[in-house]
Amino acid sequence: MRRTHYCGELRRGHAGARVTLCGWVHRRRDHGGLIFIDLRDREGLIQVVFNPAVDTQTHALAHDLRSEYVIEVSGTVAARPEGTVNPNLPTGEVEVAASALTVLSEAETPPFEVEGEAEVGEALRLKYRYLDLRRPSLQRILRLRHVAAQSIRGFLNARGFIEVETPMLTKSTPEGARDYLVPSRVNPGVFYALPQSPQLFKQILMVAGIDRYYQIARCFRDEDLRADRQPEFTQIDLEMSFVDREDIWSLMEEMLVAVFREASGITVATPCPRMSYAEAMARFGTDKPDTRFGMELADVGPLVRGAGFKVFAQALEQGGEVKGICAPGMAGASRKELDDLTEFAKGFGAKGLAWMKVAAEGIDTPITKFFKPEEASAIVHAMGGKSGDLLLFVADKSPIVAETLGRLRLHLAGKLRLIPEVRYDFLWVTDFPLLEYDEAEKRYTAMHHPFTAAMDEDIPLLESSPLKVRAKAYDIVLNGTEIGGGSIRIHRQDLQERMFERLGIGPEEAKAKFGFLLEALQYGAPPHGGIALGFDRLVAILVGVESIRDVIAFPKTQKAVCPLTDAPSPVTRDQLKELHIKMDL
Ligand code: ASP
C-alpha cells in the first residue's frame, strides 16, 4: 500500500508522524510563497502545505496542481500554527508539511464543482455520476446504505434466515406491473421475464423446506415512472414457514428497531400500531395514513341526510358519502384560496368542495340556507370545529371522497405545518381486501398478488361476494409512505386454483403461467408467509432525502434512461438476427 493513512483520519495525536496520503485535490490556494491544498479521500479532507523551505522541487511541482488531480503526497504531520486551526474540519488541528509529491492522474475541469453542494441539474449529475458520487453527501449515503444492508443481514442471519439467490432470467411473477422481457437466443421465439419480485421462488423455497429465506433482491418493473419509481429497485425480501401474521409483524418490528438504531441512531417505538384497511380508509382516506398528525375525516352523512342540501342528499341517495375535514385556523381563507382548494379537489375527481367557516359570531357558509342553525352546529361539533377553523366537505362516491379528502388532508397539513419533522410513525395496515374490480377489464384482480390467502372466515364469500373477502395481507407504513407489504400465502393447491378461477385465469392459462407452482403445492407445502420492504425507500428515509434516486449509486431518469452509459441503446442487426427479432418501429 502506498498510503499510510486516510486524509480524514489524521488528528493532533499524529503530530510528528511521517505519512503518505493519496487522494484528490479538493481545492488549492496560493499564499505568497506557500501553496495550500485540501486533499480529499473517502474519509475526509486534510490541509497539505507546500513550503519551498521544506522542499523546493515539491513546492515547484505543486504549482501545477488543479482541482480533482489525483496525487500521492508524503510529509510530516504538524499541529497547525496558533490561530489557523479550523474547527469545522475534523482534521482541522493539523496539517501535513509535504516533502514529496507525485501526480498519479491529471483531471479535466469538472462540469460542476465537486466541492460544496452547489445545485446542479440532475441530468448532468447522472451523466457524470462518478463526480457526483465524490461529493461527501453522496459518499455518506452509500456508506449508510451499506451499513443498513449489513444490519439487516446480521439481524436475519442471527434468527436463522438463509440468504438464497433466485433467478434473474425467469418467468413472469405478477406484481401488477409490466415485465421486462429478455429474448432467448438458443430457444427462438421465447422470452424470459426479469423478476418483478422473487415471490414464486421464495414460496417454492418454503416447499423445499428452507423454512426461513431472505434476499436483498433486485426487482424489475416496467412502469411509466411516476414520481419516485425506478425500473429496477431493491427489496428486502423474506419468507417463513409455519407462521402467522403476528410472527412476521413482530419480527419486522425488531428488524426495523435494529436497522434504525444501527444505521441512523434513531429509536423506533414498538409494537407498531395496527389498523385495518377499512379503518384507515374511513379515518384517513388512504391505505397509507400519515399518523403524525390528526385532521381525520369525519363522516357527516347521518347529520346531513335530512337537510335540504341537494348535493349532499343526492350523493347519499346514490350510495355515496358526505365527509369532511377540519382545517384548524383557516377560517380566514380568501375566496381565491377556497377556489384553489376546490380546483385541488377536482383534480381527484370531486365535483366540488363545500365549506363552512367557524367564527365566534356563528357559522359562515354559502350553504347556510340549507341547514337549520342546530343542524349546522351539530356538524361543527361532530367535526371538532372551533372558532377560527375551516370545515371542508366532499359528497360523492366513497372512493372519490376518500381520495380527495385524504389528499386534501396532506396538502393542508403541509401548508399549515402540522407535520412534525423528526418523528417516525410506523403503522401496520391489515385486513386488505383480497380483490379489486377492474372496471376497464371487467374482471377481478388481486389487490396484493394472486398468491395471497384470504381470511379463513371469508373464504366462503369468494364466489358470492368477492369484494367482501379480506386478505391475510398487510403493509407497513412509515409517516404516510408504504415501505413494505406482504401476506400469508395460499398453500393449498385447490385454493390456489380457486383463486386463479376467481381472477378469470382459466385452468389452461394457470397451467401455462403457474403450473410449476400448482404442482409444487401438491408435494407437501407448509403454511407460509412473508414480506418485502422497499430498501431504497427505507434508506432514503434513514438518511432524510426525498428521492430514492439519491440513495441508488447509478439510478435511471424518469424516462428509464441511464445518462452515464446511455442505456438503453441500439444494437446491431446481427445481434437482433441472432435473437430472431425483427424491428417494427
Ligand atoms: N412479493 C411482494 C411484493 O413484491 C411482497 C410479498 O408478498 O412478500 O410486493
Specify the CATH number for the domain of residue 313: 3.30.1360.30
Domain boundary among 415, 439, 473: 415
Which of 416, 413, 409 is closest to 332 using CA atoms? 416
Long-range contacts of 333-337 (CB under 8 A, 24+ apart): 333/357, 333/390
Grid cell digits, residue 572: 446491431
What average pLDDT does the segment 393-403 reach?
A: 96
What average pLDDT does the segment 445-463 reach?
A: 96
d(CA 396, CA 381): 22
* Ligand 1 atom having least distance to the Cα of 196: 4
- 440 and 507 part of one domain: yes
In a domain, 123, yes or no: no
Q: Say which DSSP state 550 is in.
A: G
- Residue labelled with grid coordinates 385447490: 494
Q: Say which DSSP state 226 is in.
A: -
The pLDDT score that the predictor gives to residue 306 is 80
Percent of the chain with pLDDT over 70: 99
* Ligand 1 atom having least distance to the Cα of 198: 1
Confidence of residue 249 (pLDDT cuts 50, 70, 90): very high
Total count of residues recorded for the chain:
585
Domain boundary among 53, 80, 105: 105
Q: How far is the CA of 199 from the centre of ligand 1 (A)?
A: 6
Query: 215 pLDDT exceeds 90?
Result: yes
Judge if the beta carbon of residue 406 lies within 6 A of ligand 1: no
pLDDT tens, 94-145? 999 999 999 999 999 999 988 766 788 888 999 999 999 999 999 999 999 9
- The mean of the pLDDT values for the chain is 94
* Ligand 1 atom having least distance to the Cα of 173: 1
Nearest CA to ligand 1 atom 7: 486
- 208 and 312 part of one domain: no
Residues 6+ apart with CB under 8 A from 9: 43, 44, 91
In a domain, 76, yes or no: yes
Model-wide pTM > 0.85: yes
The pLDDT score that the predictor gives to residue 59 is 94
The pLDDT score that the predictor gives to residue 102 is 97
In a domain, 522, yes or no: yes
Q: What is the CATH number of the domain that holds 157?
A: 3.30.930.10
Nearest CA to ligand 1 atom 1: 199
CA angle (68, 72, 78) in 5-degree steps: 105
- 404 and 432 part of one domain: no
| Strand-pair category, 321-327 with 473-478 | unpaired
HEC per residue, 37-76: EEEEECCEEEEEEECCCCCHHHHHHHCCCCCCCEEEEEEE
d(CA 418, CA 294): 9
In a domain, 557, yes or no: no
pLDDT tens, 508-557? 999 999 999 999 999 999 999 999 999 999 999 999 999 999 999 999 99
Report helix, strand or coil for 104.
Answer: strand
Confidence of residue 228 (pLDDT cuts 50, 70, 90): confident
Burial, 463: exposed, middle or buried (Cβ in 10 Å; 0-12, 13-18, 19+)?
exposed
* Ligand 1 atom having least distance to the Cα of 487: 7
The pLDDT score that the predictor gives to residue 140 is 94
* Ligand 1 atom having least distance to the Cα of 530: 8
Out of 448, 477, 482, 528, give the residue to mutate to test ligand 1, the one with the largest number of ligand atoms within 8 Å of its CB.
Answer: 448
Q: Which structural domain, as residue segments, surrounds residue 81?
A: 7-105
- 246 and 155 part of one domain: yes
pLDDT tens, 43-55? 999 999 999 999 9
pLDDT tens, 363-395? 888 887 888 888 888 999 999 999 999 999 999
Judge if the beta carbon of residue 450 lies within 6 A of ligand 1: no
Domain boundary among 105, 123, 147: 105
- 526 and 477 part of one domain: yes
Judge if the beta carbon of residue 482 lies within 6 A of ligand 1: no
The pLDDT score that the predictor gives to residue 377 is 87
- 388 and 495 part of one domain: no
- 366 and 473 part of one domain: no
φ and ψ of 233, to 5 deg: -150, 175
Confidence of residue 82 (pLDDT cuts 50, 70, 90): confident
State how many domains the chain has. Answer: 3
- 297 and 259 part of one domain: no
Q: How far is the CA of 166 from the centre of ligand 1 (A)?
A: 14
d(CA 305, CA 314): 9
